[in-house]
Chain A
Amino acid sequence: MSVSNPSKEPIRIGIDIGGTFTDVLLLDSTGKRWHVKVRSTPHDSSQGVINGLHKVLDLAHIQPEKVHYLLHGTTVATNTVLQRKGAKIGLITTKGFEDILHIGRQQRTSLYDLFVKPVAPLIPRKHIVGVEERILADGTVHLPLTEKQAKKATQRLSQNVEAIAICLLFAYQNSKHEKELLTEFRKHHPQLPVTISSSILPEYREYERMSTTVLNAYVAPVLAKYLQHLDSALISMGLQTPMLIMQSHGGVLQSQLAREQAVRLLFSGLAGGSLGGRYTSQIMNLPNVITFDMGGTSTDVSLITNGQVRETSEGHIDGLSCRVPMVDVETVGAGGGSIAWIDEGNILRVGPHSAGANPGPAAYGSGGQDPTVTDANLLLGRLNPEYFLGGDIPLHSKLAKSAIKQLSRQLSLSTEECAFGIIRVVNANMERAIRIVSIQRGYDPRDFALIAFGGAGPMHGWALAKSLGIPRVIVPLAPGLHSALGLLTTNLRSDQSQTVLVSTESLNIKQLQDTYKKLENQLRKLLDTQGVPKQSIMISRLADLRYRGQAYEITIQGSGGRISKRWLNTLVADFHRQHKQQYGYATTSAPVTIVNLRVVASGPMPSLKPAEAFQKQSKLPEPKMQRKVYYEEVGKFIETPIFERTSLGLGSKVNGPAIIEQVDSTTIVHPNTRAVVRLGGNLVLEAIT
């Protein structure tokens, strides 16, 4: 990692791949931001990345070798799993338990669908081999693994596969047998990548650990190929800094290491938005916000409480368990490209099918026939046909109208009524997603601000906020690029965990100290290889606790000091407190179990300064034009002043009804609301009282 010149800002580039567009954002040494948006290239996403990079470097007149940080959020790992295009892999497990992966938790994914498809497994049963060995719950070896057994298994598998996963019962307690098998492969088949469960996820619950291990083995070769391809393209462009890859929890990892820990990148593409939201919440000094990122194909909603992005370790991808920390995001298949349709009961529905980037909404004129949310917004006057993506994609109102007309006829509605119906329906879908991340997790949305971004977020944010009782909506400076900006606010981060499953009463402090120390040393080594100076490594210790007899845990942050009886008591007290917050009660007299110990190590990167100093604007902003826009509140079109976002300065006020347009997004200021430009250029929408 290169060290930045302290008098200047380091030059950073964030690359965020979405379903429809790839965003590239460059921050130059003066703190100025340059952004480009290119269409995503789903067949080979590196193409879009390289296109965007060339474009942004040209735009900013920056030599590639001057770039200090290159940060990348990728959907390659996600798509590899969704499309089942990963490596051909083999699995070794304990004999008698070969079907754990296929049995899963014995649950079906849909209750009433008799034709429900089984979860498509990543490994055929014939590539799963059982070895005679057994370790017990306390880690003692009950049945030793013989060399003969190990040899037989490796020989049987090594023939037809490209990668190996190893997961034995209770290996989180004792990794001896897994390591013996690993050695066997290293000795005889050094070319085969091997993932062992005791190193990727030393946590209890055999199905979840096995699934996570297998996902890693399955994705790693594909991800490695993608990153290698990209890395060499970057080198030939003249970039000298190693690429940093976003992990599912929002910390980054050097691309070299990312290849071995592929499973930690499964939700890489989702983290940027939450980080962007956290950044805005810091600038605005609002510790509790809901991030609402509405793009072309989907909408991601997440929660930031006390300035922290909420994480979970209970992720799933396409029916497969993946238990590494990730940002707690709720995704709905609703975006600008979502298609409106009529169901068997003659009711208007929207999504989850999307017109995507190609052909896109009918208004794009690229052959799309289906009416979408974007077409509805255009028809209602909310979008400017000549200024969509700054005019890069001209919108055709006629095509949008004829697409929506088809629907409106079936529903016996006017075209405008139908268009507005589409907006209401898509808003209702998104409202449910917000309710899930807030109310269903025990939070009241009225105590939060909504940060609306993504190309379509600022158009829908206020209506949603109103319906949920959220008092304030924040629209960041560049809503369409906010996820890419989020990438620039990250730190290097690595995590490791270890199951201990012990009651806090019988816990040996020495054991606690030793386990934390072991995890910490592993992580320090990892950050060290990425060039983080020893003194700047930050360590946090966490633990997953629960009441005895329960089967779900809460992750509690431990205090910084020395690990002692007192340290433990504070941890347990914090657990009771958080249990009460999340579940409404605490039983301080009940015995508490520590399930997992966790360590997070991070190497801070230079923090991001708020956007370029904003001139205070004394005079009232001038609209650039007028057009008729439809508003629900009044049920009709109103002649509306249209403002250019870049013409607004710090303190500028715009009273609704008004539209504020910018290259990457459009904000609606509804009647009886006001938009004010605040710190960092953030637009704050509030009701006029």
Chain B
Amino acid sequence: MSFEVLRNAFISVAEEMGAALVRTAYSPNIKERRDCSAAVFDIQGEMVSQAEHIPVHLGAMPESVKAALKLYPTGEWNEGDIVILNDPFEGGTHLPDITFISPVIYNDEVAGFVANRAHHADIGGSAPGSMPGAASEIFQEGLRIPPIKFVEEGNINQALWRLLLANVRTPIEREGDLQAQLASNTTGVTRYKAILKKYSPSVIFTFLADFHTYSRQRMLQQLQQIPQGNFIFTDYMDNDGISTIPVQLSVKVSTHHNHIIFDFTGSSPQTQGNINAPFAVTLSSSYYVLRCVTDPNIPVNAGCYSPLEVIAPQGSVLNPIPPAAVSAGNVETSQRIVDVLFGALEQVIPDRIPAASQGTMNNLTIGGLIPRTMQSFTFYETIGGGLGARPSAHGIDGIHSHMTNTANTPIEALETAYPLRVLRYHFRSKSGGSGQYHGGMGIRRDIEILSDTAVVSVQSERRHFAPWGLQGGNPGKRGKNLHFHAGKWKEIPGKVTFPAQKGDIISIRTPGGGGFGNTKKSITQEE
């Protein structure tokens, strides 16, 4: 009977760590966009509970703790220790995401771990924001931190602290955010210990074992409803941003009564451009899909994911090796992994799978000088698009899909802060794929440049390959990027960096979602 009470208690620990992080963080990226998460782990480093605000962190946390435990086995952790890491090849996702891991020591023994991760606005490298579009090696993307004891028995490693701050563009902001991460773990350790004290370690360890079993059982119940078989699907990303060659993502989903395998063998080798997805990102997308197609209410812990095996060959675009550039893997490739898995699963559970959604985050960066003050500015945003039609419902218009869910920038905030003017911001009519149920519409956002010059950078997908429909539904409209210059509109590539001038207009038109079912059975929209 204590089960539900303890379940609530462990969820609260993760939530309160997350709240402490958001509350005390300095930068808007953590505080407002909530690009961060927190989680609790047992002695073996298996995840117990997690508070995440965007799904792309789902699989990343367990990988971080695993990487830290590999370097520092349980016996090497002391009270007050904290391990820091961001290396995408050792438990990280991309360099701006920094993870802190603390042991929970009770009666002189390790009783579990807590960890939090936050996306820092800059971690050095060749461009502000540490996500340079043209990077071909991770070294251009910023400072790489393998798992290191950053705090030992309560003492911060000052040498490392100084080294870290010396390598980032905005050290004061970084310091504030890193302090918030320290505070978050302190909250977690204190709360975890209070639970151990209240219920005794033996009660807690029994509960944790039961808790994993509970989630595993519920996941297995779900998997048993899925017919057995092998299901293959392939989709392509437009390109890697350096060459124009499409990048292949392939999966074989094997469903069994007691386990399920996502095997990405056959996907392209790692690319020269930055769309490589570190294995933790591939896991995040896989976990996301598993949760979506089963019961999202199953408590998230290691037991919940234990029936899933994810295979991605080393050196492929979904499990790259150093020195691959990876910064867009997190934002763009993660979305396409979801599409590929849905494409395979649709063959076995067609009533649960939506048509492809916009499949991109439409990253737009504009930098330049503010005319009056001559101060430099950098504006960054992502733009929503169409959600794919569902087997019993239309898609949703102009919304963030799958691996992200961050808020937009209000026009009235944007124009007040930057020398930019928004000329249009509305749905792209008829961009959703038609069908019995139609896909959601994409968005058109036109921005005029008011500064003398500016550098514009776009990272987007589904400009070449449209979001597919299902069961006879038509594909959603492809995305399109245009540049108005010297009186003429010109189409520009999906991934591009170029100089622009005063009076130029950048028009981002995001993809619509795919349609579902035969158009003849079309359900007319109310409006």
Residues of A within 8 A of B (CB): 96-100, 102-103, 105-108, 110-118, 124-126, 136-137, 169-170, 172, 204-208, 343-345, 347-349, 413, 417, 420-421, 424-425, 427-429, 431-432, 435-436, 439-440, 442, 501, 549-552, 582-585
CA–CA, A126 and B527, complex, Å: 7
B292 in contact with A112 (CB, 8 Å):
yes
CA–CA, A447 and B34, complex, Å: 29
A440 in contact with B398 (CB, 8 Å):
no
CB-CB < 8 A to A115: which residues of B?
390, 392-393
Checking A112, A126, A431 against B291 with a beta-carbon cut-off of 8 angstroms, the contacting residue is A112
Nearest chain B residue, comparing its CB with the CB of A431: B8
Counting CB contacts under 8 A, is B453 at the interface? no
Q: State the Cβ distance, B409 to closest chain A Cβ, in Å.
A: 9
Interface centre among A105, A114, A169 (most CB of B within 10 A): A114
| Proximity bits, B26-57, A CB within 8 Å = 1, else 0 | 10100110000000000000000000001100
Q: State the Cβ distance, B173 to closest chain A Cβ, in Å.
A: 9
B residues 287-330 touching A (CB-CB < 8 Å):
288, 291-293, 295-298
Going nearest first, the 7 A-B pairs with the smallest beta carbon separation are A112-B296, A106-B384, A440-B19, A584-B24, A428-B8, A105-B407, A96-B424
Checking B183, B353, B412 against A584 with a beta-carbon cut-off of 8 angstroms, the contacting residue is B183
Q: State the Cβ distance, B53 to closest chain A Cβ, in Å.
A: 8
CA–CA, A204 and B409, complex, Å: 12
Checking A100, A107, A114 against B292 with a beta-carbon cut-off of 8 angstroms, the contacting residue is A114
Residues of B within 8 A of A (CB): 1-5, 8-9, 11-12, 15-16, 19, 23-24, 26, 28, 31-32, 54-55, 176, 179-180, 183, 214-215, 217-218, 221, 288, 291-293, 295-298, 352-354, 383-384, 387, 390, 392-393, 396-401, 405-408, 410-413, 415-416, 421, 423-427, 443, 526-527
CA–CA, A393 and B352, complex, Å: 46
CB-CB < 8 A to A549: which residues of B?
28
CB-CB < 8 A to B4: which residues of A?
347-349, 424-425, 428
B405 in contact with A429 (CB, 8 Å):
no
CB-CB < 8 A to A102: which residues of B?
397-398, 427
Known: A172-B412, A205-B410, A348-B1. 7 other contacts (CB 8 A): A107-B405, A114-B353, A344-B218, A421-B1, A425-B5, A432-B8, A552-B31
CB-CB < 8 A to B296: which residues of A?
110-113
A551 in contact with B416 (CB, 8 Å):
no
Checking A108, A424, A427 against B400 with a beta-carbon cut-off of 8 angstroms, the contacting residue is A108
Q: State the Cβ distance, B307 to closest chain A Cβ, in Å.
A: 14
B217 in contact with A99 (CB, 8 Å):
no
CA–CA, A97 and B424, complex, Å: 6
A428 in contact with B5 (CB, 8 Å):
yes
Nearest chain B residue, comparing its CB with the CB of A123: B527
A107 in contact with B406 (CB, 8 Å):
yes
Given A204-B410, A205-B410, A442-B23: A103 and B397 interface contact (C-beta under 8 Å): yes
CB-CB < 8 A to B526: which residues of A?
124
Q: State the Cβ distance, A278 to closest chain B Cβ, in Å.
A: 25
Checking B15, B293, B383, B413 against A106 with a beta-carbon cut-off of 8 angstroms, the contacting residue is B383
Q: How many cross-chain pairs have Cβ atoms below 8 Å apart between A and B? A: 169
A413 in contact with B1 (CB, 8 Å):
yes
Checking A97, A112, A349, A552 against B425 with a beta-carbon cut-off of 8 angstroms, the contacting residue is A97
Interface centre among B15, B55, B353 (most CB of A within 10 A): B15
Given A106-B400, A112-B288, A125-B527: A501 and B425 interface contact (C-beta under 8 Å): no
CB-CB < 8 A to B288: which residues of A?
112
A585 in contact with B412 (CB, 8 Å):
no
Question: Can you name 23 A-B residue pairings with CB atoms under 8 Å?
Answer: A97-B425, A99-B397, A99-B425, A103-B384, A103-B397, A105-B407, A106-B400, A107-B399, A107-B407, A112-B288, A113-B296, A137-B416, A204-B412, A205-B412, A208-B410, A348-B1, A425-B5, A431-B12, A432-B8, A432-B12, A435-B12, A550-B28, A584-B180
CB-CB < 8 A to B352: which residues of A?
114
Given A204-B413, A206-B412, A420-B1: A584 and B527 interface contact (C-beta under 8 Å): no
Interface centre among A111, A113, A435 (most CB of B within 10 A): A111
Q: State the Cβ distance, B480 to closest chain A Cβ, in Å.
A: 18
CB-CB < 8 A to B183: which residues of A?
584
CB-CB < 8 A to A103: which residues of B?
384, 397-399, 408, 425-427, 443
Checking B392, B408, B412, B423 against A170 with a beta-carbon cut-off of 8 angstroms, the contacting residue is B412
CB-CB < 8 A to A344: which residues of B?
218, 221, 295
Nearest chain A residue, comparing its CB with the CB of B219: A345
CA–CA, A549 and B408, complex, Å: 15
B426 in contact with A96 (CB, 8 Å):
yes
CB-CB < 8 A to B383: which residues of A?
106
CA–CA, A299 and B380, complex, Å: 41
Q: State the Cβ distance, B186 to closest chain A Cβ, in Å.
A: 11
CB-CB < 8 A to A432: which residues of B?
8, 11-12
Given A107-B400, A124-B526: A169 and B411 interface contact (C-beta under 8 Å): yes
CB-CB < 8 A to B354: which residues of A?
114
Q: State the Cβ distance, B218 to closest chain A Cβ, in Å.
A: 5
Q: State the Cβ distance, A60 to closest chain B Cβ, in Å.
A: 45
CA–CA, A349 and B291, complex, Å: 21
B427 in contact with A99 (CB, 8 Å):
yes
A137 in contact with B425 (CB, 8 Å):
no
CA–CA, A349 and B384, complex, Å: 36
Nearest chain A residue, comparing its CB with the CB of B25: A583
CA–CA, A435 and B15, complex, Å: 10
CB-CB < 8 A to A110: which residues of B?
296
Nearest chain B residue, comparing its CB with the CB of A118: B396
Checking B15, B399, B416, B424 against A440 with a beta-carbon cut-off of 8 angstroms, the contacting residue is B15
A439 in contact with B19 (CB, 8 Å):
yes
CA–CA, A202 and B194, complex, Å: 47
B443 in contact with A207 (CB, 8 Å):
no
Nearest chain B residue, comparing its CB with the CB of A421: B1
Given A204-B412, A440-B16: A345 and B427 interface contact (C-beta under 8 Å): no
A108 in contact with B405 (CB, 8 Å):
yes
CB-CB < 8 A to B292: which residues of A?
112-114
CB-CB < 8 A to A106: which residues of B?
383-384, 398-400, 406-408, 443
Q: State the Cβ distance, B420 to closest chain A Cβ, in Å.
A: 10
B400 in contact with A439 (CB, 8 Å):
no
CA–CA, A501 and B415, complex, Å: 12
